[in-house]
Amino acid sequence: MRFVIIGGGCYGTFYTRQLLRAADEGAIEKPEILVVDHGSQPEVVGLARDERVQVVSADWDDFFDHYFAARAGSDDDQIVPPPFTPHVALRWLLRWATPALIVVTAAAPAFF
């Protein structure tokens, strides 16, 4: 099973450690962990010594465009985004659905 973790900072490092721990305890078998970060030396790079972890330096939008085009139909992949980046998936969806879909986005009003 392939896990694609978006971001190699504190969240990505935490998720990577959790997945490695789960694999070591037998909860998941032979995971392939792909961590995508737009920096050249993200925090998670220290965990890449484990052969189950691969760190990819790429822009998230470019990565998703190529990744989903190449892996169409793969049901085993699990995308693990940080909790504060729903806009990354939304941007990919908008690029994929356009021009068949007309979408208007606007900033949400501030509530505080």
If you average pLDDT over residues 28-41, what whole number do you get? 89
Q: Is the pLDDT of residue 23 over 90?
A: yes
Burial of 72 (0-12, 13-18, 19+ CB in 10 A): exposed
If you average pLDDT over residues 80-98, what whole number do you get? 79
Give yes or no for a contact between 79 and 93, defined as CB atoms under 8 angstroms apart.
no
pLDDT of residue 96: 76
Q: Which domains are delineated in the chain?
A: 2-97 (3.40.50.720)
